[in-house]
């Protein structure tokens, strides 16, 4: 089975071809991601109108490259999948409409994939994880702990009560004057930093529900940054945070997030075992999953609770077409295809 996947929900224009063998094992034949970072960087974040226009400009080329690298044509495909939401609706419209056109012309089934479901199922492509599993999904707009018991079968155990984790990384980067996108930048700066210099809070630690809270942590980073700056001014030294200050703030923030996630995952593992039995793995998905400190801390949590930790490679944690193609293949195998008049969705909870 060969499936084309198209992803245009945010600031990456991506297309990929995934092949699934008779045993249900997936193989990525191509995975083309064209990032719009350069277009959005001057504005410090994603500008929806610019994103939509950039998707229009490049989506055909990205799809063509994905098909060429996989050495196939549209007639070889078994289905065309595109992210149907949630996301910036202008971008979703472009990817989904392009998928419809290809499906119509080639006479192939269309699958409108939920972008979050695609993140959720990626570990089944990379590591053949079996149901049920505990999923920690953390992207720019979502932070959730989910029990994944089947394709389309997700039970929310916990979520954020304010900001998403990726959003918190992006906001902390912004307040430290680091370039967009913030997550990878904060991780990079944190490498030279002292994670113990600033004692940031671990919000909701020890609470019995595995929810998250990020806004207080973000405020604490701002307050500490302001305090350091004020000390500088009082001491009559040059204004501005030093590289060392920024590195220490990033490292301390990142460690606070990782500790919070580990604590919340421990609670979720207990809840999961009570409600769903033994999970086959603790799986991480979404852009924040690319963070190596988080991975290290969660590995310790998984070891202590006797679970296998599965974190797809960074390129498959951040937005890509392969995850859309794979989720499309999973749905196709169950006969779950969509009509050509399906509408793009800005909001689409799992
Ligand atoms: O899943 P994703 O690529 O796009 C969405 O669907 O939102 O996630 C993007 C988010 C951004 O907030 C970005 O800052 C964050 O994931 N992110 C990271 C890292 N790489 C991306 N956060 C922390 N560390 C990283 N290495
Ligand atoms: Zn995403």
* Whether residue 181 has its Cβ less than 6 Å from ligand 1: yes
Q: What's the burial of 229, exposed, middle or buried (CB within 10 Å: 0-12/13-18/19+)?
A: middle
Q: What is the pLDDT of residue 3?
A: 98
- Are 164 and 115 found together in one domain? no
84 touches ligand 1 (CB under 6 Å): no
Within-domain flag for 294: no
Cα-to-centroid distance, 77 and ligand 2 (Å) = 24
Q: Does 119 belong to an annotated binding site?
A: yes
Do 152 and 259 lie in one domain? The reply is yes
| Span from the CA of 169 to the centroid of ligand 1 (angstroms) | 8
What atom in ligand 1 is closest to the CA of residue 139?
8
Secondary structure class of 332 (helix, strand, coil): helix
- For residues 42 and 154, state if they share a domain: no
Nearest-angstrom CA–CA distance, 204 and 218: 14
Co-location of 74 and 114 in the same domain: yes
CA 109 to chain centre: 26
**Nearest atom in ligand 1 to 181's CA:** 14
What is the pLDDT at residue 44? 84
Q: Are residues 134 and 232 in the same domain?
A: yes
b/e 86-124 (16+ beta carbons within 10 angstroms → b): bbbbbbbbbbbebbbebbeeeebbbbbbbbbbbbbbbbb
Report the domain count for the chain. Answer: 2
Sheet of 153-159: strand order equals: 153-159, 143-150, 133-138, 282-285, 309-310
pLDDT, residue 151, reads 98
pLDDT of the chain along its 350 residues, tens only?
999 999 999 999 999 999 999 999 999 999 999 999 899 988 888 999 999 999 999 999 999 999 999 999 999 999 999 999 999 999 999 999 999 999 999 999 999 999 999 999 999 999 999 999 999 999 999 999 999 999 999 999 999 999 999 999 999 999 999 998 899 999 999 999 999 999 999 999 989 999 999 999 999 999 999 999 999 888 887 778 999 999 999 999 999 999 999 999 999 999 999 999 999 999 999 999 999 999 999 999 999 999 999 999 999 999 999 999 999 999 999 999 999 999 999 999 99
pLDDT attached to residue 180: 85
Tokens representing residue 233 in the block:
């001014």
pLDDT for the residue numbered 236:
83
8 A C-beta contact, residue 51 and residue 90: yes
187 in contact with ligand 1, CB cutoff 6 A: yes
Q: Are residues 117 and 139 in the same domain?
A: no
166 lines ligand 1 (CB under 6 A): yes
H or E element: which one contains 283?
A: strand 282-285
Q: Say yes or no: CB of residue 141 within 6 Å of ligand 1.
A: yes
Domain contains 286: no
- The answer to whether the annotation marks 319 as part of a ligand binding site is yes
**Same-domain check for residues 59 and 144:** no
**Is 251 inside any structural domain?**
yes
Q: Which residue, 280, 309, 343, sits at the end of a domain?
A: 280
Give residue 237's pLDDT: 74
Same domain, yes or no: 42 and 147: no
Is 62 domain-assigned?
A: yes
Cα of 198 to ligand 2 centre, how many Å? Answer: 30
Residue nearest to atom 13 of ligand 1 (CA): 183
Instruction: Give domain status of residue 313, yes or no.
Output: no
C-alpha of residue 139 to centroid of ligand 1, in Å: 5
Q: Is the CB of 169 under 6 A from ligand 1?
A: yes
**137 marked among binding-site residues:** yes
Return the CATH number at 36. 3.30.420.40
Same domain, 167 and 57: no
185 annotated as ligand-binding: no
The response to whether residue 10 sits with its C-beta less than 6 Å from ligand 1 reads yes
Strands 26-35, 12-20: pairing kind? antiparallel
What's the domain range around 178?
Answer: 130-280
Q: Is residue 164 in some structural domain? A: yes
Q: Does 301 sit in the ligand 1 pocket, CB within 6 Å?
A: no
Pocket lining: 184 vs ligand 1, CB cutoff 6 Å? yes
pLDDT at 181: 86
Give residue 218's pLDDT: 96
Residue 232: the pLDDT is: 86
94 and 205 in a single domain? The answer is: no
φ and ψ at residue 326, rounded to 5 degrees: -65, -45
pLDDT at 235: 86
The confidence score (pLDDT) of residue 233 equals 85
Packed helices 321-333 and 115-127: angle between N→C axes, nearest 10 degrees = 90
Domain assignment present for 37: yes
Say if residue 7 carries a ligand binding annotation. no
List the alpha helices (DSSP H) in the chain: 37-40, 48-69, 89-106, 115-127, 165-175, 182-190, 215-234, 243-276, 292-304, 314-317, 321-333
141 with 80, same domain?
Answer: no
How far, in Å, is the centroid of ligand 2 from the Cα of 116? 7
Cα Rg of the chain, angstroms: 21
For residue 341, is it within any domain?
no
Same domain? For 239 and 160 the reply is: yes
206 labelled as ligand-binding? no
Instruction: Scan for tokens 């006797």, then name that residue.
Output: 306
């Amino acid at each position: 089975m060969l499936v084309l996947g198209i992803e245009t929900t945010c600031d990456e224009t991506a297309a990929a071809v995934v092949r699934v063998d008779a045993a249900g094992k997936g193989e990525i034949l191509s995975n083309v991601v064209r990032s719009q970072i350069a277009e959005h960087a001057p504005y410090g974040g994603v500008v929806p109108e610019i994103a939509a226009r950039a998707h229009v400009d490049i989506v055909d080329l990205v799809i063509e490259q994905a098909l060429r690298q996989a050495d196939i044509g549209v007639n070889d495909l078994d289905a065309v999948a595109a992210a149907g939401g949630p996301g910036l609706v202008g971008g979703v419209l472009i990817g989904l409409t392009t998928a419809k056109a290809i499906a119509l012309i080639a006479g192939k089934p269309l699958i409108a994939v939920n972008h979050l479901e695609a993140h959720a199922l990626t570990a089944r492509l990379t590591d053949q994880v079996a149901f049920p599993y505990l999923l920690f999904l953390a992207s720019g707009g979502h932070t959730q702990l989910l029990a994944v018991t089947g394709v389309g079968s997700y039970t929310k155990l916990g979520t954020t009560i304010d900001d998403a984790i990726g959003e918190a990384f992006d906001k902390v980067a912004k307040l430290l004057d680091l370039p967009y996108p913030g997550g990878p930048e904060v991780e990079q700066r944190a490498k030279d930093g002292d994670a113990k210099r600033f004692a940031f809070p671990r919000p909701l630690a020890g609470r019995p529900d595995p929810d998250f809270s990020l806004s207080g942590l973000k405020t604490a980073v701002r307050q500490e940054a302001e305090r350091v700056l004020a000390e500088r001014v009082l001491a009559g030294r040059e204004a501005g945070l030093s590289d060392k200050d920024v590195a220490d703030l990033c490292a301390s923030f990142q460690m606070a997030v990782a500790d919070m996630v580990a604590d919340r995952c421990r609670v979720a593992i207990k809840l999961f075992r009570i409600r769903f039995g033994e999970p086959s793995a603790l799986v991480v998905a979404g852009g924040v999953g690319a963070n190596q400190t988080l991975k290290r801390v969660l590995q310790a949590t998984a070891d202590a609770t006797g679970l296998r930790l599965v974190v797809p490679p960074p390129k498959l944690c951040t937005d890509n077409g392969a995850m859309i193609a794979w989720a499309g293949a999973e749905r196709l195998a169950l006969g779950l295809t969509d009509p050509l008049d399906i509408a793009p969705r800005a909001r689409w909870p799992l």
